């Protein structure tokens, strides 16, 4: 008998469920798994960066405290800033973009799944490289040390004369690596949105979250490249005898500031625009109304993106630019406030006349609106160059940008977690723990960051490891530190909620919030291919059309 089959001898296959699981996650190119990897990785660094913040706050509880040495304190605020911006905020927002964008445009994956995986692992490697500096920062003799030059790494402090050893090289290389990862992800998000929309999903029907992530991706491409270029120039200065930033050899310390902030300010909008995106999805659903002024919201976002590329030197009002340059950056900075204000008004317009349900995602969204309003107004104060000469580099500006990053970005992210966790896991987060988390965090946040403005007005500069008694700063700093610990308790409640609800949370079903965008039309969690049949949409709210065939949106658009 001729044989065209091969008999395979009975192989003994050992079941290795943990190894298989690990293998699946490490080799995955699925946008949902990569999104969750991004988010999980960022949450780990959120805790690490949070512990660094607590070390800073313990040290500053009272004047002349000696909880840590000045060297350790300087490393802590450098690592805290670098970690929170590059290894918490960016990856967590990329994670949500990765997870949500293909689902919301009815696609089966990102445009370049393998680039997606590559970008994630590059960013992850960057984070590990930064933290390896604790061991290898001095070149592997002695105990090592982390970079201590501040997260701006201003020249000439980062030059070899002032930063011997390799600690600031780890900083440079880790940002270079994660920066390339960010560029890869940005290209991917951009291409996905432009090329993979399902039939009927015209640009003016895309959910606002998708629109805003498109703008964010474009800004990443513009903002990260000068940072990467500057990092390479810094390496050339440090190792190949270059003089880009070496003032003694004709280079310019101010040049580094321009490079850093032409990245640094658009970066703020890279972080806040995806948070505007969360707000623009969550507020309508819990107000039971469509977003107010959709085209205006899109226009305002694009406007913010353009104007924010011309405001960077408002970080440099004290550097000694001439009065014309100072005036220019004053008016551009104030101008960004206009489209941002329009957004706040449109969110209020969305809630106006609605039936607002105060579920946890909505609570965090309302917290965002209040806090972002105040952050914007202190931003106007800082935009007035003369006022900035007093406020800049003081604790007032520290309070201002934490109002943006914690009060704005982190609150929006918490809202996003409570809103999309059911989609990602199939389980609801506990509403009871969610409310504990919200109120603890609101109280801790305001105790810390409202009070933190005042030492700035009283002349307390940032980045000091201790201060003199008798300046009126002691009590205020103690209150700020107490608030930080209340926030830390809030974070513990949140982490416990994430873990406990994964196993014991209520079943979510496909559409727990009665929402309107495409991700809620598939199962929770969605299958690897997202949609069994590619959806076809006829309006901005395809699920509203489905649920209200008598009054579909498509009639009005």
Partner 1 sequence: MFVLSCLLLPPNALAEHSHSPLTNILSPESTPAKSIFNLSLFVLAITGIIFAVVFTLLVYSISKFRAKSASANSEPAQVYGSTQIELAWTIIPILIVVVLFLATARVLHAVQDAPMPANAVEVTVIGHQFWWEYRYPKLGVVTANELHIPVSDPAHPTPTFLQLLSADTDHSFWIPELAGKTDLIPNHPNRMWMDPQHTGIFLGQCAQYCGTQHAKMLLRVSVDTPEDFTEWVREQRRPAIADERVVAGKRVFETTACINCHSINGTVANGRFGPDLTHLMSRTTIAAGAAGNTPENLRLWIQDPDAIKPGSLMPAMKLSDADLDAVVKYMETLR
Binding to partner 1 by residue 552, rule CB under 8 A?
A: no
Distance CA(290)–CA(351), nearest Å, equals 9
* Among the residue ranges 15-23, 94-102, 106-114, 457-465, the one whose residues contact partner 1 (CB under 8 A): 457-465
Q: How far is residue 299 from each of residues 216, 267, 285, 365, 440, measured CA to CA in Å?
A: 14, 19, 22, 22, 36
Residues 503-542 that bind partner 1 (CB under 8 A): none
Binding of residue 468 to partner 1 (CB under 8 A):
yes
Identify which range of 79-87, 110-118, 192-200, 324-332 contacts partner 1 by CB under 8 A: 324-332
Could you tell me which stretch among 20-28, 267-275, 342-350, 420-428 binds partner 1 (CB under 8 A)? 342-350
Helices (H), 137-195: 167-195
DSSP 357: -
Interaction of residue 65 with partner 1, rule CB under 8 A: no
- Among 21, 195, 202, 318, interactor with partner 1 by CB under 8 A: 318
If one counts every other C-beta atom within 10 angstroms of the C-beta of residue 189, the result is 25
Buried b (16+ CB within 10 A) or exposed e, 305-340: bebbbbbbbbbbbeeebeeeebebbbebbbbbbebb
Query: In terms of Cα–Cα distance, which of 287, 293, 310 is closest to 344?
Result: 293
**Which CB atom, from 45 or from 445, has the smaller least distance to partner 1?**
445
DSSP states of 6-62 as a string? -PPP---PPP-HHHHHHHHHHS---HHHHHHHHHHHHHHHHHHHHHHHHHHHHHTSS
Among 465, 494, 520, 531, binds partner 1 (CB under 8 A): 465
Residues 173-212 that bind partner 1 (CB under 8 A): none
> Residue 168 interacts with partner 1 (CB under 8 A)?
no
Comparison of 5 and 248: residue with beta carbon closer to partner 1: 248
* Residue 338 sits in the site that holds partner 1 (CB under 8 A): yes
Q: What is the dihedral of CA 64, 65, 66, 68, to 10 degrees?
A: -120
Q: Toward partner 1, which CB reaches closer, 108 or 462?
A: 462
Candidate list 200, 288, 439, 500; residue touching partner 1; CB under 8 A: 288
Q: Which stretch binds partner 1 (CB under 8 A): 115-123, 178-186, 446-454, 501-509?
A: 446-454
Q: Which of residues 88-147 bind partner 1 (CB under 8 A)?
A: none
Task: Check residue 14 for interaction with partner 1 (CB under 8 A).
Answer: no
Site for partner 1 in 344-403 (CB under 8 A): 344-346, 348-349, 351-358, 366, 369-370, 373-374, 377-378, 380-381, 383-394
Q: Tell me if 308 contacts partner 1 by CB under 8 A.
A: no
Is residue 427 classed as helix, strand or coil in its secondary structure? strand
Nearest-approach distance from CB 148 to partner 1, in angstroms: 8
Is 461 a binding residue for partner 1 by CB under 8 A? The answer is: yes
Q: Which is nearer to partner 1, 153 or 522 (CB)?
A: 153
Q: How far is the CB of 187 from partner 1 (least distance, A)?
A: 33
**Touching partner 1, residues 234-273 (CB under 8 A):** 247-248, 250, 252-254
Distance, in Å, from the CA atom of 382 to the CA atom of 456, rounded to the nearest integer, reads 12
Query: Could you give the string, one character per residue 473-492, with x where binding to partner 1 holds by CB under 8 A and - elsewhere?
Result: ---x--x-------------
394/56 Cα distance (integer angstroms): 16
Q: Should residue 307 be labelled a site residue for partner 1 when binding is judged by CB under 8 A? A: no
Q: How far apart are CA 47 and CA 136, in angstroms?
A: 22
148: contact with partner 1 by CB under 8 A: yes
Cβ neighbours for 489, distance < 8 A, ≥ 6 positions apart? 440, 444
Position 323 contacts partner 1 (CB under 8 A): yes
Nearest to 487 by CA among 53, 74, 96: 53
Gap between the Cα atoms of 412 and 419, Å rounded:
10
CB under 8 A: which stretch of 108-116, 179-187, 193-201, 445-453 binds partner 1?
445-453
In the complex, what is the shortest distance from the CB of residue 482 to partner 1, in angstroms, rounded to a whole number?
Answer: 13
Q: How far is CA 548 from CA 370, 516, 545, 555, in A?
A: 33, 11, 5, 12
Is 70 a binder of partner 1 (CB under 8 A)? yes
Binding segment for partner 1 among 83-91, 118-126, 230-238, 468-476 (CB under 8 A)?
A: 468-476
Q: Total residues at the site for partner 1 (CB under 8 A)?
A: 99
Whose Cβ is closer to partner 1: residue 414's or residue 449's? 449
288 φ, ψ to 5°? 60, 35
Q: Which two tokens stand for residue 86?
A: 């590059």
Residue 58 engages partner 1 in binding (rule: CB under 8 A)? no
- Strand-pairing partners, residue 394, are 461
């Amino acid at each position: 008998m001729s044989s065209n089959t091969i008999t395979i001898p009975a192989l003994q296959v050992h079941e290795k469920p943990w190894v298989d699981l690990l293998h699946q996650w490490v080799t995955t190119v699925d946008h949902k798994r990569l999104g969750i990897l991004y988010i999980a990785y960022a949450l780990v660094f959120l805790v690490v960066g949070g512990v660094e913040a607590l070390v800073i706050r313990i040290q500053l509880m009272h004047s002349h405290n000696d909880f840590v040495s000045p060297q350790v304190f300087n490393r802590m605020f450098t690592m805290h800033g670098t970690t929170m911006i590059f290894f918490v905020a960016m990856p967590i927002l990329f994670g949500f973009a990765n997870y949500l964008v293909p689902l919301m445009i009815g696609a089966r994956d990102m445009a370049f799944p393998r680039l997606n995986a590559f970008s994630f692992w590059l960013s992850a490697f960057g984070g590990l490289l930064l933290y390896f500096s604790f061991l290898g920062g001095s070149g592997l003799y002695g105990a090592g040390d982390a970079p201590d030059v501040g997260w701006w790494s201003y020249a000439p402090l980062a030059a070899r004369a002032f930063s011997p050893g390799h600690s600031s090289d780890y900083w440079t290389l880790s940002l270079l690596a994660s920066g390339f990862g960010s560029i890869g992800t940005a290209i991917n998000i951009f291409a996905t949105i432009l090329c993979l929309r399902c039939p009927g999903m015209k640009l003016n029907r895309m959910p606002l979250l998708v629109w805003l992530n498109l703008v964010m991706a474009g800004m990443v491409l513009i903002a990260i490249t000068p940072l990467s270029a500057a990092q390479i120039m810094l390496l050339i200065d440090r190792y190949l005898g270059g003089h880009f930033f070496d003032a003694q050899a004709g280079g310019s310390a101010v040049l580094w500031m321009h490079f850093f902030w032409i990245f640094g300010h658009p970066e703020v909008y890279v972080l806040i625009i995806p948070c505007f995106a969360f707000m623009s999805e969550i507020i309508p659903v819990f107000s039971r109304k469509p977003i107010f002024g959709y085209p205006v919201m899109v226009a305002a976002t694009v406007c913010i993106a353009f104007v924010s590329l011309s405001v960077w030197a408002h970080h440099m009002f004290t550097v000694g630019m001439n009065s014309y340059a100072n005036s220019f950056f004053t008016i551009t900075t104030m101008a960004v406030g206009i489209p941002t204000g329009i957004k706040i008004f449109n969110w209020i317009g969305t809630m106006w006349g609605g039936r607002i349900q105060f579920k946890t995602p909505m609570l965090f969204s309302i917290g965002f609106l209040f806090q972002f309003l105040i952050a914007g107004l202190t931003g106007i104060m800082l935009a007035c160059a003369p006022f900035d000469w007093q406020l800049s580099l003081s604790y007032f500006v520290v309070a201002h940008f934490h109002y943006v990053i914690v009060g704005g970005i982190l609150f929006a992210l918490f809202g996003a977690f409570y809103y999309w966790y059911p989609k990602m896991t199939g389980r609801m987060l506990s509403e009871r723990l969610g409310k504990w988390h919200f109120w603890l965090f609101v109280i801790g946040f305001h105790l810390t960051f409202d009070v933190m403005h005042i030492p700035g007005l009283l002349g307390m500069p940032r980045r000091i490891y201790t201060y003199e008694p008798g300046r009126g700063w002691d009590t205020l700093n103690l209150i700020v530190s107490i608030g930080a610990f209340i926030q830390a308790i809030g974070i513990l409640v949140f982490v416990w909620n994430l873990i406990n609800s994964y196993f014991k949370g209520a079943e979510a079903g496909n559409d727990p919030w009665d929402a309107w965008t495409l991700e809620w039309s598939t199962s929770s969690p969605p299958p690897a291919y997202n949609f069994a049949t590619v959806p076809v949409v006829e309006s901005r709210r395809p699920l509203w059309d489905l649920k209200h065939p008598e009054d579909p949106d498509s009639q009005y658009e």
